[in-house]
Structure formats: structure tokens, C-alpha cells
Structure 1
Amino acid sequence: MDDHAWGAVLSDNTSPTVSVVIAALNEARNIPHVLGKLGPEVTQVVLVDGGSTDRTIEVTLEHRPDATVIRQTRTGKGNALVCGFEACTGDVIAMIDADGSADPGEIPDFVAALTAGADYAKGTRFALGGHSTDITHLRNLGNKGLTGLVNVLYGTRYTDLCHGYNVFWRRIVPLMELPDPSLPRPADGSKIWGDGFEVETLINVRLAAAGARVSEVKNVEYPRLHGESNLNTFRDGARVLRTIAIEYLRHRRQRAGRTARPALVDQAAER
């Protein structure tokens, strides 16, 4: 078996179980739509609440009484996702935004990419058949530039770096090296690296650096259903650029300081 196939298919050829992680903050009006689009392949819903002051938790449990509801330990989307990953029990983890912009009905397409041999199925709005009805022209240009930079630095062929719809084998979470959710928030109120919106870029470049097998899956992005987005084109674009630079330097230092890939649990043997 390819030693890079850390998320290789289940040995008994059964369908993988799927946990969906939804990070939410005051999304009570959007959650019913998201939960209503989940298919039978989803065996666990993990809602990570960021301190909602509306009825996000109550509405989630009304529509999905079996949902696992947890509160994130610090602040930021990255911390919320890691808290969610730790609570997952499925073979596969799907990251879904709570605002209704992603179609959970596309999850089977991502799972098919995993069972075909990928470790990580990365959503893309820009592959043939993909589309976004929400992205602005300026954000589109910025995304293309940042995606091109990562492709040059890491030898990847990504078409959509800044997108949060991703599905992967739970066993590859250690490769992401995300911050421990049990760590306390810094006394000065700052975020731990990886706790913020940079998390999606971190995951994409760290998996590329680790040699994970990534397969892009086309999908359609829709406008947020209710409420306003926290995205800021220039601020978030600068954050992504900083993330790429820091992570590339980190990757080069790691390569210089080792002669072989770090030993990992033999996940394929455990299947």
C-alpha cells in the first residue's frame, strides 16, 4: 500500500461513517436549512458553539436531537474546528459552514474521492462544474493569486485555496498539527496560531507539506442565508498571505532539521 495513503479505504469495503462539524455563532436562523440538507451518510452531527446569544443550540437540538453539542474552549474558527474534530467518532470528518453557503448534499461526492484513495477531499468552486454565487470579483482575484503562490511553493495544483468546505479521513487530523484545545488562551488576549480564520490555509499547506493525497471536489457556493459575513477582503487576504509565508518558512526549517518523515501511527494497519 502507498505509504502516503494515511486515510486509505476501509479494509472491509463498508461505507465509512461520517461526522459533520459545524462551527456556529448566532446561526439559529440558518441551522435548520443546513441540518435539513444532511443525507443518510451522516452518522454524527457535531455543533461547536462559539458563545451564541440566540437559540443556535436549542434550534439545533430541536432539528437534530442526536447532535453532539459542545462549546469551544477559546475563540476563533480554528479553535472551534479543532474542538469539533476531537468530538468526532466517524471514519470521515466533513467541515460545513453554518451559514447555508455550502450544500451538505454534496458530501457523498467528497466521500467518493476519499474511498477512491484520497486522504483529503478539498472543495473547489473553480474546477469544471464548480461555481460561486457569493464571491466578489476582488475576492476572486485575491484567491487566485494566493492559490497560485501556494502551488509554486508547495508544488500543488490547487484551484481554490480559500474555501472552507473540506472532507477528510479522521485519521489524518494529527498531520494538521493544530493547537491543543485544552491550552489556555494567552493572558494578553491574543489568539494561539491556528485558532483564527487562518486555519483553512494552515490545513491546506500543512497537508501538502506532509505529502497527503489531496483530491479536489467541485462544489457550488451559495450566498449566506441570513445575517452578515465576518469576511473582510483586505484583512483576511493579508492574514492568508501571512499564513503562507510563516508556514513555508516553518516547512523549510522542518525539512532542514530532519532526514525522514516523522513516524506516525500505522493507521492503515489499524483498519
Structure 2
Amino acid sequence: MSAVLRPESSGEDPLVIPSRTTASHPGHAPQPRYRAVSSHLAIAPPVSVVIPAMNEAANLPYVFRSLPDWIHEVVLVDGDSTDDTVRVARTLRPDVKVVEQRGKGKGDALISGFAACTGDIIVMVDADGSADGQEIVSYVSALVSGADFAKGSRFANGGGTDDMTPIRKLGNRVLCAVVNAKFGARYTDLCYGYNAFWRHCLDEITLDCTGFEVETLMNIRVVKAGLRVQEIPSHEYDRIHGVSNLRAVRDGLRVLRVILRERGVPRSVRAVRRRPAAGLRFTIPAVPGVPVNPTMPRGEVL
């Protein structure tokens, strides 16, 4: 994992955390590979974006257009679509990696997509057009700053939602309060699918749920594993085309079952807490809405 952050004109040396490198001339040290994000910020960790989709052909043009051009790869997990989802994806982005989902459910789709990723950072994005891909820079900035898991929140200061009904907001608030009380978290949002994390997180949060509740399972297990979590304010827009499969009561009960089941699973103990390598100096440009704190407590939301 690595990052290259270049102040625009401060005269300071850029930060380089060694990771993947490109070949260089004989006799010269390998040079870090990085992608420009803006005139003053660049990153070296390859970023994979996983998009689970089923019959989302009409929404993909917006979703793909909103993605930053510096991402490493897009992994589209097709849930046996009967429309032109796959064809549209390949037309929009010829290098898209298409994974055919063999099982059913959002959790199964995400697990399949994660397995196909080659990036050091993985970002989860819904295919209905409700997420703004330009927010990915905020998630990546939080991870480069020291977080293990960057969790999107519609209810953190600066976030918002155009999609949630009052009953869904109430249910989310109640379930979030239960998770905070039972697992010592400080989440402001529980059931949101826009998240990002370092690949190593997958080694510590075994995902064994196939449905919509996979997002809640991830949020609980990153806290139980002692991973460093940072919430990212995010705005959720209305689905552009089509009808959502979400059902407030049905899905709320499924989430509650996950919470109750996880209460009986012991908290994992990590012998070594991940920190940046000794001697590295962080020079992180400010990103609006993203507090920078590279010394995050384990399992705690800032």
C-alpha cells in the first residue's frame, strides 16, 4: 500500500509510502506508480470499484460517468441481468471486469466482486445512480490518512439523503443505536452501501451473508476486529431509473437477525495494530468534509 501526496507549490518533499513499483532503468531504484487526483494530490494505491448490478442498463451511463478517471479498475458483478447491463458496461468502459454472479443477493454479489479485485483499496458503489462517484476521493483520502475502513454516512455532518422514507430513517436510527450500544461503535448510519477499505480488511472480517444485510455485517465486524473506522459524509440521491427492491420491514428484520447473531460471536483480538511504517512523514492536503487524523483508535468512529 502506498500513497504519493504532492503539495501544489509548498516546496515540501512528497510523501511516498513504498508499495507497488514500476520498472525503472538499470541501476536506478524502482519508482512508485501513482495516479493524479488533482493538481496537488496523487495516489499510488490502485483503487478497485465494485458495482453489483442486476438490470441496471439505464443507470450505468450516469454511474460510470461519475467515477474518477484515476481509479485502477471497475468490477461489475452481473446478477443474471435480462437487459443490456453487461453490453452497456462494456460499451461505456471497454476495460471493465465483468463477473457473473453464481448465487443470489447483494452480499453474494459483493463477495464475488471483492474476490476479483486486484487493487489495494476496494470501493463499494451501488448501480442505481444514487451515489456520486466523485466522493470516492474523500474515502481514499481517509484510508491514506490512516483508516482501515472508510464508512459512508448519510447522517454525518455534511451528508444527506433524497431516497429514504421516514419509516426507513427511523428503522436505520434504531438499528444503528442497537449496534452502537452492543458493540461499542459510534456510527451515525448503519445500512448504507457506499464504503471503502484496504484489501487486508477482508482477511479479518469473514463475510458469510448473501443478502442486503451484508453492509450491516461488515460494519459490525470491522469494529469487532479492532479496525480503524472513519465515517465519510455522503449524499444519497434518488434512484434514477427502475424500482428499488428494498422493503423496510422485511429488510429491517433481516438486519436485526444479523445483529442478534453477531452478539454471540466473540470479538477477535489483533496482536499487532496496523500503523504506518516508522519514519514516514504525512503531508495530507485538506479535503472538504474529511477530517484527517492518522492516529485513529481501533474500532472507533471519528
Q: Is the 8 A contact 2:149 2:227 kept in 1?
A: yes
Structure 2 partner of 1:12: 18
Note if 1:236 corresponds to 2:242.
no
Q: Is the 8 A contact 1:47 1:67 kept in 2?
A: yes
Measure how far apart 1:41 and its partner are: 2.6
Q: 1:267 to 1:46 in 2, by over 3 A?
A: farther
In 2, the alpha carbon distance for the partners of 1:217 and 1:268 equals 21
> Which of the numbers 47, 50, 53 marks the counterpart of 1:24?
53
Q: Is the 8 A contact 2:146 2:276 kept in 1?
A: no
In 2, the alpha carbon distance for the partners of 1:110 and 1:91 equals 13
Which residue type is aligned with residue 43 of structure 1? H
Q: Deviations over 1:166-213 (max 9, x none)?
A: 01111211212014xxxxxxxxxxxxxx01111101100011100100
Structure 1 partner of 2:174: 145
From the CA coordinates, give the structure whose radius of gyration is larger.
Answer: 2
Measure how far apart 1:49 and its partner are: 0.3
The root-mean-square deviation of aligned C-alpha atoms, in Å, is 2.1
Which residue type is aligned with residue 191 of structure 2? C
Q: Is the 8 A contact 1:8 1:119 kept in 2?
A: no
Structure 1 partner of 2:39: none
Percent identity at matched positions? 51
> Which of the numbers 207, 215, 219 marks the counterpart of 1:204?
219
Q: Is the 8 A contact 1:8 1:118 kept in 2?
A: no
In 1, the alpha carbon distance for the partners of 2:184 and 2:57 equals 41
TM normalised by structure 2 equals: 0.76
Structure 1 partner of 2:72: 43
Structure 2 partner of 1:112: 141
Q: Is the 8 A contact 1:95 1:166 kept in 2?
A: yes
Q: 1:205 to 1:119 in 2, by over 3 A?
A: same
Partner SS for 1:250: coil
In 1, the alpha carbon distance for the partners of 2:258 and 2:251 equals 10
Structure 2 partner of 1:223: 238
Q: Superposition pairs for residues 19-168 of structure 1, below 5 Å?
A: 19-168=48-197
Structure 1 unaligned spans of 5+: 1-6, 180-193
In 2, the alpha carbon distance for the partners of 1:267 and 1:91 equals 16
Structure 2 partner of 1:195: 210
Structure 2 unaligned spans of 5+: 4-15, 20-33, 35-42, 278-302
Measure how far apart 1:140 and its partner are: 0.5
Measure how far apart 1:11 and its partner are: 2.6
In 2, the alpha carbon distance for the partners of 1:130 and 1:261 equals 32
Q: 1:207 to 1:8 in 2, by over 3 A?
A: farther
In 2, the alpha carbon distance for the partners of 1:198 and 1:128 equals 24
In 2, the alpha carbon distance for the partners of 1:145 and 1:243 equals 14
Aligned length: 242
Structure 2 partner of 1:4: none
Measure how far apart 1:42 and its partner are: 1.1
Which residue type is aligned with residue 205 of structure 2? M
In 1, the alpha carbon distance for the partners of 2:272 and 2:143 equals 23
Partner SS for 1:177: coil
Higher helix share: 1
Partner SS for 2:125: strand
